[in-house]
A and B are shown apart, each in its own frame.
Chain A
């Protein structure tokens, strides 16, 4: 049999990553189901009243915000954690020994995470429409899609950076969760930011890309938005983060664990 073409290899890697994701129930739960549960919880807690400061209903705000949260965890958390555990288990080292070009390996991870994020975002918006009667406007749909892509590119790159710096799978889990969850609060994903929010918190949110992801994506679902609804500064800011994260990740990426398997060999070699 002949070697798969580059497109065939990419397709194979995407299929492989999706298979691994689906067969890891805990990851599938946290990415696909958990954000929906949050929407139901927020709906039950706050009702579906209009938020006075924003002039939109609770669900009209939270469905896109939680969609952003699930897109970020589908890319950032999943890539960071999965890849680090793959390194712990020696799988990255095995892959490195095959003629699969490393860039195809990374592209497979990113594309598959985009598909998972798209599924999670679609599920969230669909539930929003069916259960909470949120409005989706055809005029701003392209902006929503472009914002989505800028966001997932950014957070997939950051996920690779987590995988590059985390010494182990457990460390990557800790890094991903302890950064994404507080940021979700600072960025207004769980509680809308208003004029009364502390300035330090707002400033902190402004620095990191999650708030810009939320702003750009939200803009496409605000009834007050006129025109196509593109938040170009936010989109540009996310892509800038993506470029920096990607460069650092590729520079720092290791195919072998610093502890664990290879370390044991090294210890043996030195004894």
Chain B
């Protein structure tokens, strides 16, 4: 599989402030890669260097075989960018904007097709100034893919979306993945990273603190499994449970055995275990543990 993005020893300083302090990344073609991290961790700076909007202070960057800092037309032709903060001309209609911005790409999607993909039919001929926040974001997504790019940068693509708009956007992104596009997204939402990405990296304070699949990040697959349930009325629990708010929980490296013991105990004592659940730590818990350490 060919490599879409290769970054080594990336540094970026603004004055004496180092925003990015040595990042290495390798993203394969066709991969959906999520960059997670708190505000100010260096996510957007890193992505903007890869897009060609900023120049690296130090380090080597190769995106689709190009140095993005050179701003070559062939490079931009193959890349779609959905910026975190920018706007589209409110004086134009959705259709006009897609047609104008599409004009400079060597292969571009039909405007009507694109409007279909992001579900903006009823707004196709409306001025952009009249769109809701979620509709504007969907238009920006459409503008990001108007040139049928091989690589798509999505900087917080669903921030500010309501849950159903988010699901819709995920469908679009998942569709792009099935077309073989490489996608680099940044997000604050763990469920988004979990749902969309093949691989995840967590940036904190300008460096990558963990990298892996959503299921293995930060040793998630090795972490102890947690079993919890609501304490039955009048039950006396074995001593190794933690109880808070009436919910008992236990962590175990051997969840099958532990669960067997618990259910055996419950059956023997005639209890029904309400809210019984067996979970590994969520991606969010792993993420918080990783970023709070900084």
Q: Chain A residues in contact with chain B, CB under 8 A? A: 1-4, 8-9, 12, 16, 19-20, 23-24, 89-91, 93-94, 96-101, 256, 261-262, 264-266, 268-271
Contact = CB atoms under 8 A, between A and B. Distances in A.
Nearest to A260: B85
A197 to B, nearest CB: 43
Contacts of A98: 76, 101, 104-105, 147
Nearest to B144: A97
Residue among A9, A97, A262, A266 facing the most chain B CB atoms (10 A cut-off) = A97
A93 B53 CA distance: 8
B106 A3 contact: yes
A270 B40 contact: yes
A99 B76 CA distance: 5
B65 interface: no
Nearest to A3: B106
A268 B39 contact: yes
Contact of A99 (B40, B51, B104, B110): B104
B86 A4 contact: no
B44 A268 contact: yes
Give the interface size class of chain B.
35 or more
A227 to B, nearest CB: 46
B172 to A, nearest CB: 19
A79 to B, nearest CB: 16
Contacts of B88: 91, 94
Interface pairs A-B: 7 shortest CB-CB: A90-B86, A100-B104, A271-B40, A23-B91, A99-B76, A269-B19, A261-B85
Given A91-B86, A269-B19, A270-B14, A97 B53 contact: yes
B77 interface: yes
Given A23-B91, A91-B89, A97 B81 contact: yes
B184 to A, nearest CB: 14
Nearest to B92: A19
Interface in B217-239: none
B81 to A, nearest CB: 4
A96 B107 contact: no
A86 to B, nearest CB: 8
Given A20-B89, A90-B85, A264-B85, 15 more contacts: A1-B102, A1-B109, A3-B107, A4-B103, A19-B92, A20-B92, A23-B92, A24-B91, A89-B87, A94-B88, A97-B83, A98-B105, A99-B76, A266-B14, A270-B40
B85 A265 contact: yes
B40 to A, nearest CB: 4
Interface in B52-96: 52-53, 71, 73-74, 76-77, 79, 81, 83-89, 91-92, 96
A84 to B, nearest CB: 15
Contacts of B52: 97
A220 B91 CA distance: 39
B45 interface: yes
A143 B17 CA distance: 58
A2 B52 CA distance: 24
B76 A97 contact: yes
A250 to B, nearest CB: 14
B86 A9 contact: no
A265 B96 contact: no
Interface string B10-52: 0000100101000000000000000000011010110010011
Contacts of A20: 89, 91-92
Nearest to A1: B108
9 contacts: A4-B103, A20-B91, A90-B85, A96-B53, A101-B73, A256-B53, A266-B45, A268-B44, A269-B45
Nearest to A2: B106
A12 to B, nearest CB: 5
A207 to B, nearest CB: 37
Contact of B106 (A99, A268, A271): A99
Nearest to B127: A23
Contact of B103 (A12, A96, A265, A266): A12
Contacts of B71: 96
Contact of B87 (A91, A97, A262): A91
B89 A99 contact: no
Contacts of B102: 1
Nearest to A24: B91
Contacts of B19: 266, 269-270
B100 interface: yes
Contacts of A96: 53, 71
Given A256-B53, A265-B85, A99 B91 contact: no
A265 B44 contact: yes
B39 A271 contact: yes
